[in-house]
Amino acid sequence: MTQAIAARKVKLHDLKTKFGLQRVEDDQFFREWLDELPELTAVERQALDRVKRNYLYLLEYPVMESIVKMAVLSPLLDLAGFYEPPFRVDGENEVKVAAIDEGEVIQGSIDVLVIQGQLWVSVIEAKNSEFSLTKAIPQTLAYMLARPNQEKPAFGVVLNGSEFLFIKLVQANVPQYALSDVFSLLNRGNDLYEVLRVLKRWGRIVANN
């Protein structure tokens, strides 16, 4: 009998054991969050400064997932151009990952999924502000493993409102992934500048494939 496992309960050890997933530490494996990032306009920087101010004000109270989406995630997707052609945004899609040899299915619902046609551009998990990013990494990787087009790299980002972490997944003979540094709205300056630059860079990569 096939055993179903909720994606929110998946651990990195589960993905390593059932799918052979490996983390890569080589800096050359994941350069898409470092190289050839586009410059931002003054208008974009002003918009991101407003997003940060709004979020830090909201942070004085418990910030739930729905508020994170409205105050932080939606403006970022808009500025990155993901609400415009050729991109299409789907939300709350149920995604299943099957481990055939173990007879198990990891399943759950994703918060936001950015798609160009049937290609997964980015997997974004919006978590309550009090949740650590580490809780969302296994869940997001499980969704990325289930994407239909596995010949090309997949990119994802997990966020809890104040922190952002980028992920790259490559599925060859052995699925491998790497993580970026953590960007935080609690740092000096505005890390949303770099977050938007990475998202815009990924949009160009996917649009050109």
pLDDT by residue (tens digit) across 72-109? 888 998 999 988 888 877 765 655 555 555 566 665 55
On the question of a cis peptide bond just before residue 86, with omega within 30 degrees of 0, the verdict is yes
Percent of the chain with pLDDT over 70: 74
Please give the backbone phi and psi of residue 19, each rounded to the nearest 5 degrees, phi first.
Answer: -120, 0
Confidence of residue 119 (pLDDT cuts 50, 70, 90): very low
Give the pLDDT confidence score for residue 106 in this predicted structure. Answer: 60
Give the pLDDT confidence score for residue 3 in this predicted structure. Answer: 52
Pick the CATH number of 20-94+109-207 from 1.10.10, 3.90.1570, 3.40.1620, 3.40.91: 3.90.1570
Confidence of residue 18 (pLDDT cuts 50, 70, 90): confident
The yes-or-no verdict on residue 34 having pLDDT over 80 is yes
Give the pLDDT confidence score for residue 117 in this predicted structure. Answer: 42
- pTM reported for the whole predicted model: 0.85
Rounded CA separation 112/12 (Å): 21
Q: How, if at all, do strands 104-109 and 94-99 pair? A: antiparallel
The yes-or-no verdict on residue 12 having pLDDT over 80 is yes
Give the pLDDT confidence score for residue 26 in this predicted structure. Answer: 93
Q: Which amino acid is at 96?
A: K
Which runs of E-coded beta strand occur in 7-162?
22-23, 88-91, 94-99, 104-109, 112-116, 119-126, 154-159
More confident residue, 106 or 189: 189
- The answer to whether residues 184 and 43 touch, using CB atoms and an 8 Å cutoff, is no
What integer best gives the mean pLDDT of the chain? Answer: 81
In this prediction, residues 157-175 reach a mean pLDDT of 87
- The answer to whether residues 32 and 169 touch, using CB atoms and an 8 Å cutoff, is no
Rounded CA separation 61/72 (Å): 15
Structure tokens at 46: 């002003």
Residue-level length of the chain: 209
The predicted-structure confidence for 42-65, as pLDDT tens digits, reads as follows 999 999 999 999 988 888 877 676
Structure tokens at 171: 């599925």
- Residue in the structure block whose two tokens are 């759950």: 108
More confident residue, 101 or 69: 69
The yes-or-no verdict on residue 1 having pLDDT over 70 is no
**80: Cβ contacts below 8 Å, ≥ 6 apart:** 196, 199, 200, 203
CA distances from 194 to 32, 79, 96 (A): 12, 13, 31
- Residue in the structure block whose two tokens are 């990569």: 205
Residue 91's nearest CA partner among 76, 107, 72, 69 is 69
